[in-house]
Amino acid sequence: MRTQLSSVPLPVIETPLLAVFAVDTQTAKGPDAKPSPTLLTADSAVQAAAAAVLATGEYKAGPNETVLLHAPAGLAAKRLLIVGLGKIAKATAHAVRDAAGTVVRFCKPREIRELVLAVPENFFAGPPHALVSAAAQGAIIGDFDPDTYRSDRKDRSIQSFTLAAPPSSDRAAVESAFAEGVIIGESQNFARALVNEPGNKLTPTVLGQRAAEMAQQVGLACEVHSTQKLHELKMGAFWSVAQGSEEPPALIVLRYIPEGASDGPADSPILGLVGKGITFDTGGISIKPADNMERMKYDMAGGAAMIAAMRAIALLKPKVRVIAIVCAAENMPDGKAQKPGDVQTAMPLNSSKPGKTIEIINTDAEGRLVLADGLTYARQLGATHLIDAATLTGAVSVALGKINAGAFSNDDATYARFAAALQVSGEKFWRLPLGEEYADIIKSDIADIKNTGGRWGGAINAAEFLHVFAEDTPWIHLDIAGVAWVEDTKPFIAKGPSGVPFRSILEWVRSY
């Protein structure tokens, strides 16, 4: 998609489709209260072109509700599309992001390949920078479709997207916000494209290659290691998962060092991003049911989010050091696979203390095993603050459904930054508890800990397992199993990979 920013007056823009936002300004309640749709543009010609349809009462400006006008009077555009943001109290930048995606997805099946979207005016306090960024993000996210391998695929991608911004005294800030939105949208789609790849196409080795190619393009340092490095580092937990597959594992390490970092204070934070990269998960010897197992190509969504975050970090250049570790492997049930009852030894943090021993209760609880060594390695490389992301447990979906993802943390100040990041990202997380009572559940009779704690509190038990390896380092764990895949097509996003929690991780990093 070719993207550009324009400040040309809306009536004179020649385009197949001009889209504008609308909001319901009705604040009264009760059965007699009728929606009051209002266009979010100060342009009188656009207002006049839409006046008749708004007066009918048929269009209510509900969230992502659309109405299309052909040959709108007084406009050079061939079509005028109005897209709703819902009630005025809920007309946030997040609503703008979704509505921009709705505009793009409206155009795609109608073979409209070029469009102009007007940045909303009025009713929003402050400068339009956040709205500009959100609109660009939403349009790019809306352009993604998962039908990569269909032989009869008709590429309906939008060729040209123009965001029409009102004249601003701070044009440079608007341009910066637009560029930021494009980077974020494209990076989220980068993560979605990785997650969408089938397991036979995206092996751990190929995931490492994709990460290295991206790193070279944006100027990140990248190392991709495999079996020998795991043995050198004594990553017994990670290797215990990888040993059951013919495909070798990949230990992906990405580093971002901002300009002038050597001039910073000695106690400057180093952020460690750790992602689960299971490119296909059969469950191993504790094999999964056949139903929906094909979805298990998405079990590397946490790793994809970390790789995408590093792409955006390299382009947006926050002033903080970042290290990303992605532990990629297949979880397969061949003759070399680990068995329930086996005891594995995780990576030691240093030579003075041996690694933790782990009793394997269920080989399908493999994500926490690779993350255990990933968290330890990030700490060994100097990370002072940690965040990990993984499609870790079905239990988190039982607890929170498919709306909120689970979040855990051992440090309130670190989590407060993440909570603030959610206000920018628009992604939905709910903090769940940790505690010694939960930690007791994963104590083993034969080893230090066991990799599952039974039926109850499964997402919390998994988080407590990871807590053992984060120790006192400020740490956040994100269990995204319920939200990493969009179950049904929505007006603003296609069915398939969502890209969650990429935006939240990025904003958490930028908060430093």
Active site residues: 288, 368
| Distance from C-alpha of 333 to C-alpha of 51, rounded to nearest angstrom | 64
**Backbone angle region of 454, left / alpha / beta, with phi > 0 → left and psi within -120 to 50 → alpha:** left
**Cβ-based neighbours of 414, under 8 Å, separated by 6 or more:** 385, 474, 475, 476
Smallest Cα–Cα separation from 302: which of 188, 391, 417?
391
Q: Would you give the DSSP letter of residue 352? A: T
8 Å CB contact between 97 and 120: no
| Distance from C-alpha of 13 to C-alpha of 77, rounded to nearest angstrom | 6
8 Å CB contact between 251 and 323: no
| Distance from C-alpha of 232 to C-alpha of 244, rounded to nearest angstrom | 19
DSSP string over 232-295: HTT-HHHHHHHTT-SSPPEEEEEEE--TTGGGS-TT--EEEEEEEEEEEE--TTSPPPSTTGGG
| Distance from C-alpha of 393 to C-alpha of 397, rounded to nearest angstrom | 8
Smallest Cα–Cα separation from 309: which of 276, 277, 275?
275
CA 143 centroid distance within chain: 16
| Distance from C-alpha of 131 to C-alpha of 234, rounded to nearest angstrom | 48
For residue 290, how many other CB atoms are within 10 A of its CB? Answer: 7
8 Å CB contact between 326 and 211: yes
| Distance from C-alpha of 410 to C-alpha of 434, rounded to nearest angstrom | 8
Q: 3-state DSSP: the chain helix, strand, coil percent, rounded to 5?
A: 40, 20, 40
| Distance from C-alpha of 63 to C-alpha of 69, rounded to nearest angstrom | 19
| Distance from C-alpha of 39 to C-alpha of 58, rounded to nearest angstrom | 15
DSSP string over 149-197: T-TT------SEEEEEPPP-TTHHHHHHHHHHHHHHHHHHHHHHHHHHS
